[in-house]
Chain A
Amino acid sequence: MARPKLAVWKFASCDGCQLSLLDCEDELLAVGEAVDIAYFPEVTSRVEPGPYDLSLVEGSITTQKDAARIREVRACSRTLVTIGACATAGGIQALRNFRDHGHMLSVVYARPETIDALSSSTPIAGHVSVDFELRGCPVDKRQLLEVVSAFLNGRKPNVQSHSTCLECKMRGTVCVMVAKGEPCLGPVTHAGCGALCPAYGRGCYGCFGPSDAPFTAPLARRFLATGSQSGDVRRLFSTFNAAAEPFANEARRHDD
């Protein structure tokens, strides 16, 4: 039987999520045997034509060209999974959505009129239908392997959508908010990282985006009551998943 064809696509991003696959040092060669890596420019010069059984899409849409390209990618993919905060929420570059884009271009480029860049950074699901969204900035490599394995075997990925806070409790980490008064987005952030930041003594900064039913307002009030300034709260909700709606809405309630 022919092996399933895997394609990996990049839009505006840092490369880190697709690199997570190459960071699976123990599993990489086995993955390469189990699937036909048909399109993955970061890894191979070989390009096989579609259709592809599974497309992993990294990055957000920030140019006209990419808005057209993602539709081509969808058309040649049986299953399309977005990987990481850029592809699922617009990424850090979505901070432009809340600012004067022309001014931002002129900060970086002497001749901004020559640059093709949209004034917003949008997730893949804003352009085409997406079969599954894997969170994280970057994604967790164990979750990435789980998702690839699940789709290739026709089952639902075992990826939980509860909060990082719950992961942290299960890990047995002392709460950084209770013990140290550190602002922590764990209660409203999607699980997946294993609650890394609190284990290193810092508050979660929300790189996996909002969890299911995130109650951001009481958490923000708690931050303000324990010494955070309004600008700090705004920035905390407005970083790697700034355009994810629950975070964007909470950020809007606080001034710089």
Chain B
Amino acid sequence: MTTRTIQVDLLARVEGEGALSLVLEGDRVVDAKLRIFEPPRLFEALLLGRACTETPDITARICGICPVAYEMSACHAVEDALGVRVEGALRDLRRLLYCGEWIESHVLHMVLLHAPDFLGFPDALTLARHHPERVKAGLRVKKAGNAIVRLLGGREIHPVNVKVGGFYRVPGQAEIAALLPDLRSAREEAEETLSWLATFDFPAFDRDRELVALRHPAEYPMNEGRLGSTHGLDIDVREFGAHIVEEQVAHSTALHARIVGRGSYLCGPLARYVLNADRLSARAQAAAARAGLDPSCRNPFRMLLVRGVEVVYALDEAIRIIDSYAPPAQACVPLAMRAGTGQAATEAPRGTLYHRYVLDDGGVIRQAQITPPTSQNQRGMEEDLVAMGGMLASLPLEEARARAEHAIRNYDPCISCSTHFLTLAFEQRERS
């Protein structure tokens, strides 16, 4: 057996920075560690003593890529503590805002960060020299998603218009209808983008394991639902802590999550799709079928296509919401402070994002827990690398390293979210 060592100092094209260490004996991975050492920013501690109404603005700063997800989970969790429900047009506007974030975040990942892996390019700028129309189309779709966030939120990153109970200002009908032409053409271009992505080569790599996502009685899940899984989990989000535990591991500043009694699981687009394909719009289901996807898919490399389907869905859903929109009488539901515990999970682009707050009678935060998708998926990503041992061992050195990085990027890991950093150190050594 040969001895090979691969070092990559920094995993590129992910949000945030971190490292991976992989030890191969022959064709067997004996150890895989996704090392997240992004400096901790201690959000759960700095939230203590803050007003619960500050949670959307403060937790948005955990992640510049998916601030809306943080704003949504924070609002729902605080509203749960205060006994407030946000319904009707305000609820629709939140869903519309989330559609905008799914579109811009997914397209960023699909076209600018991940597609280069499949075609052997270092980045999207090189990709754009070979496939200019595909990259330009992707940028237009991304822009249409960002236009939603900009209108409803004020700006694309760290939107200012979201508050506990609703919004500061709601758009008028004409204002919001002005988004429609670009959303309609983006929907066509998203379908074409998906057809292009479906022509890529996907490594054969099926992994059977527990997939976890929200499931809602009527909708493809974004803001609400019970937490379900492929292995029988079906719980109210308030039972999250009784079923899912987080633990500190030596090689990471992100806490690892697992399901009590069963171990690792995965959340994210693949889990959402597998558990909720029947809740997609007809148009998104048709797009999935054309891309060769069905809910039996367990190949993380094909998650690229699932994101593409979710973009078509989010555009379809955004158009539906705008078509039926009538401005609500009030921009926000009135709030009355009280002591209590509030919990919520929403579906961030990268997976289930859980927040839990304990408030005192003045609405001041006394405890905070935030479980982002990437820390839930961290162990599953490591397990993928272990399972890829045979595939990696058969490849020349540079290709093996590229494939391992590619496999991590399947999850669109958000290291800033999970608090953290990746370097890739991969070594293959002779069994002594």
Q: B-contacting residues of A (Cβ < 8 Å)?
A: 10-20, 22-23, 25-26, 28-29, 32, 37, 41-47, 62-63, 66, 91-93, 95-96, 99, 103-105, 107-111, 114-117, 137-138, 140-141, 193, 196-197, 199-202, 205, 207, 232, 235, 239-240, 256
30 cross-chain CB contacts under 8 A: A12-B38, A14-B63, A16-B61, A16-B158, A19-B15, A19-B65, A29-B125, A41-B17, A42-B14, A42-B15, A43-B124, A43-B125, A44-B12, A44-B125, A45-B123, A62-B41, A95-B46, A99-B45, A104-B45, A107-B44, A107-B48, A108-B45, A110-B247, A111-B248, A115-B40, A115-B253, A193-B155, A202-B160, A240-B61, A256-B49
- The answer to whether B40 touches A92, judged by C-beta atoms less than 8 angstroms apart, is no
- The answer to whether B160 touches A200, judged by C-beta atoms less than 8 angstroms apart, is yes
Least CB distance, B162 to chain A, in whole angstroms: 10
The list of the 4 closest CB pairs from A to B, nearest first, reads A16-B64, A44-B123, A104-B45, A107-B45
- Which A residues lie within 8 Å of B124 (CB)? 43
- Which B residues lie within 8 Å of A108 (CB)? 40, 42, 44-45
- The answer to whether B46 touches A93, judged by C-beta atoms less than 8 angstroms apart, is yes
Interchain Cβ contacts within 8 Å, total number: 179
A-B contact sample (13 more), CB < 8 A, given A41-B10, A99-B46, A235-B50: A11-B39, A12-B38, A16-B67, A19-B15, A26-B139, A44-B13, A45-B123, A62-B41, A63-B39, A95-B46, A104-B42, A201-B331, A232-B51
Given contacts A16-B67, A29-B135, contact A46 B154 (CB under 8 A): no
Given contacts A25-B142, A43-B13, A44-B13, contact A138 B57 (CB under 8 A): no
Q: Of A12, A19, A110, A114, which is within 8 A of B64 by CB?
A: A19
Q: A-contacting residues of B (Cβ < 8 Å)?
A: 10-17, 37-46, 48-51, 54, 57-58, 61-65, 67, 104, 108, 112-113, 116, 122-125, 128, 132, 135-136, 139-140, 142-143, 146, 154-158, 160-161, 163, 168-169, 247-248, 250, 253, 255, 331, 405, 416
Which residue of the partner chain A has the closest CB to B14?
A42
- The answer to whether A92 touches B46, judged by C-beta atoms less than 8 angstroms apart, is yes
In the complex the two chains form, what is the Cα distance from A26 to B144 in whole Å?
12
- Which A residues lie within 8 Å of B13 (CB)? 41-45
Give the one of A23, A26, A63, A239 with max B CB within 10 A. Answer: A23
